[in-house]
Structure 1
Amino acid sequence: MSVLTRELVLKRLEQRINHVIPVKIQGILLALISTGLFVLVGVLVRILSERIDLFQILLFRQLVFIVLLLPSVKASIDILLKPRQVKLHFLRIFGAFLALYLGFVTVSHIPLADATALGFTQVLFVAVISRLFLSEAVGLSRLLTILIGFAGVILVVQPEFNQSAVYTLTGLIAASGAAVAVVCVRKMAQTEPRVVLLSYQAVFVGLIALLPSLMSWQWPTLYELMLLILVGVISSVAQWIGITAYKLAEANVIANVEYAKIVYSLALGYWLFAETPDTLAVLGVLIIFTSAILPLLMTFLSVRRFSSNQPPV
């Protein structure tokens, strides 16, 4: 199949999907998939961190990402050498590094549920930043879903944070870095190709992690090497899906879907670590489901209302 034929087939497929599923709803669904994959990455990082240094885990993650991107990089080298928004790229890379490394630190030192709860502060950071710098309206309904979701998180996690306050701080800084990266992606996604957004983050975050990982290098076993590769592959797929989601819907809508992480965390915690939620946690899960579904329902109803008001052709 020629390149032109493949592009034509993909374009027709995209048109059919857009006809069946509204674009914003596609963004929400993709965000649900992306968040689930990132939770899985956190579990793998926690397993690996017992022996492998976190900088080394981050380096492997970025190396796998770069390898997967090589075909796209080769085809888009001219575009990559001419970035349009250099300052935003630097800000996004810095935010991504903080989010990735300090997120690894947090999930490796405190319970998975507590680390996930700290990560949800990203939603609040995104709502504020997107309002200030993207001029995206954060209406009463959006604010309500954010607060409902956060209340559900508190019920599920019931965090005591009785371990070192250092790791609570790293979790908060990681969440703020992730919010900065998310808002930068939303801003640049309108003008920068996806390959540029993915490649710059992969290369430069990897370069930042290179020196400290070499200083504490530990040769992985075959099993650990497989897990390291999985971290890179799953992270790459999750990031690609996440960037696509932010192209399809507003940053604060997609960020609200982040609350689904707690559901994934509970499921993996029960399956892998025999962690059983209590009654309050079950109630919290139901509240979180409501928070995650509300934007989907509101978007669907608005689309239906718009379609019903259109005159017949």
Structure 2
Amino acid sequence: MGVVENPQDAEAAGTQRGVTLLVTAAILFSGLSVLAKLVGARIPLPEVILVRSVVAVAFARGTLARGDIPVWGTRRTMLALRGLLGFIALVCYFYALMHLPIADAIVIHYTHPVFTLLLATVVLGEALERRETGFIVGCFVGVVLVTQPRALFGAGETSADPFALTVAVIGAVISAGVYVMIRELRSTEHPVRVVFYNALVASILAAPWAWHAWVPPDPLEWTILLAIGACTFLHQQSMTRGLHLVRAGRATALGYVQVLLAMLAGIWLFHEEVDPLAWIGAVILAVSAGWLATDRRPVAPRG
């Protein structure tokens, strides 16, 4: 006679699997961000987005075919809308990535867990908890210390382009809506189908834009662009699967594990200067995210 697994233990194990997937997604996102900044020195933004999206479409379509999974799904309008919002958020993020220090761009993008927490409360019924409220405070303190906005820190060398900062924040808000939509779609749509729609919509929207701005890549740039596409597919698949298992706010907060990696990449690859206040902010962000990640309670039911 088999051992009956405790449902709560099973849910907790699922949550832990989700945490692992989301940490993996964060590392992949950090890698593709570094690659995008490297190739973006000469290759225009729409071209980067197009190649990245076409490669992700190919990977996702092949995965669906191998699993004999229907391509188009049942909630097609919402899937397409998720793709549109994802494209807008991506454009905002890549613009910020190419006009800000890499750590600043990534950290501002990852303010989206704050907005995700609030949206998830309203849309998904995932009420704020004490840990998550503490994370919000830590997140904003960390972001202020890392980005050091001019209004608080003056116009010194560490201050960033205000327009690029604004674009980055807009992208973070839209990203929050995307993550809530992914969480909502979990009951009816396969994770790879969600990835496929996102990449397909981005490919369609980026194609005419890239056509007018096309710069022929050299062999090394083609290699980097294809690597960005592969990282994109693996990142989105890990992130989407993780969001099926972990509360929306807590899930998106786990992305902060890459902030220190981004800072190190900025120092080693792009010779960016990081002052002590920025390091303190990054540590606060990492601790806040880790605080949430250690909570292994299963996803709370909607209601």
Is there any run of 5+ residues in structure 1 with no aligned partner, and where? 1-17, 304-313
Residues paired across the two proteins, number: 283
**Whole-angstrom CA distance in 2 between matches of 1:32 and 1:154:** 23
CA RMSD of aligned residues (A): 2.3
Match of 1:84 in 2: 74
Match of 1:310 in 2: none
Is 1:151 aligned to residue 141 of structure 2?
A: yes
1:1-313 mapped onto 2 (5 Å cutoff) = 22-75=13-66, 79-81=70-72, 83-160=73-150, 162-275=159-272, 277-299=274-296, 302=297
Q: Is the 8 A contact 2:254 2:293 kept in 1?
A: no
> What is the TM-score with the length of structure 2 in the denominator?
0.85
Amino acid at match of 1:65: A
Amino acid at match of 2:122: L
Distance change (3 Å), C-alpha of 1:220 and 1:243: same
Choose between structure 1 and 2: higher helix proportion: 1
**Whole-angstrom CA distance in 2 between matches of 1:157 and 1:171:** 11
Distance change (3 Å), C-alpha of 1:153 and 1:78: closer
After TM superposition, give the deviation of residue 174 of structure 1 in Å. Answer: 1.3
Q: Is the 8 A contact 2:64 2:70 kept in 1?
A: no
1:205-263 per-residue CA deviation (whole Å, 9 max, x = no partner) reads 11110111111111110011011001101111111111111011111111111222322
Give the greater-gyration-radius structure (CA): 1
Q: Is the 8 A contact 1:145 1:291 kept in 2?
A: yes
Distance change (3 Å), C-alpha of 1:159 and 1:25: farther
After TM superposition, give the deviation of residue 134 of structure 1 in Å. Answer: 0.8
Percent of pairs with identical residues:
24
**Whole-angstrom CA distance in 2 between matches of 1:194 and 1:228:** 24
Amino acid at match of 1:286: V
1:48-100 per-residue CA deviation (whole Å, 9 max, x = no partner) reads 2221111111010011112222323435677224x222332132112100111
Is there any run of 5+ residues in structure 2 with no aligned partner, and where? 1-8, 299-303
